[in-house]
A and B are shown apart, each in its own frame.
Chain A
Amino acid sequence: MIAWQSSVDGAVASAKAEHTFVLLDFFSPT
């Protein structure tokens, strides 16, 4: 199970703190 977040800016801050990257997925429900 992936713990998707909904805030890009929050994820970017986490990525900076963890020295990692954000995976941003734009999707449309089908």
Chain B
Amino acid sequence: MTYPDESVSAAIASLFVPVQINTQDGSSNTVETVQRFRQVWTPDLRIIDGAGVELYRWNGYLPPAEFLPQLLAGRAQALLRSDRGDEAADAYADVLRRFPTSFVAPEVAYFTAVSRYRISHQASDLLENWGHVQRRYPMSQWRTKQSFIEKKS
């Protein structure tokens, strides 16, 4: 069980307005919400902004030790997409420092570089931090996603 974990529930309570939809309750409200979000499989988690725009999503059960970094990485992406770049860079750095071996860590390392570059517009911020992805997470898809720079060096 993920939500009874104290670190998970504390993060949700402090960082989000939480909504749960029981997809099996048969209510007209649930049917409308499932159709509205094109929901097809549970667990299905979305991070939505104050305009109702979906900024991040994931599917599938995660135990607390993986759910928490996934949740925080999703929030960091939501901040980045909300033009809150300084907060996003800090949030990504926090996830990477606390959960460097989590499943989501390579994605976090990739977007740590992106968020820092978007603040500084210095290529070195992007390339040096993507270099970290290459060295620390060589078998991840996120290393592949930045691998075009490796051919130039």
Q: Which A residues contact B (CB, under 8 angstroms)?
A: 1-9, 11-29
Contacts and interface: CB of A to CB of B under 8 A. Distances in A.
B50 A26 contact: no
How extensive is the interface on chain B, given as a class? 35 or more
Interface of B: 3, 9, 12-13, 15-24, 29, 33-34, 36-37, 39, 42-52, 55, 71, 75, 78
Contacts, number: 119
A-B residue pairs, 5 tightest by C-beta: A16-B50, A23-B16, A26-B44, A22-B48, A4-B20
A12 B44 contact: no
Contacts of A2: 3, 9, 12-13, 18
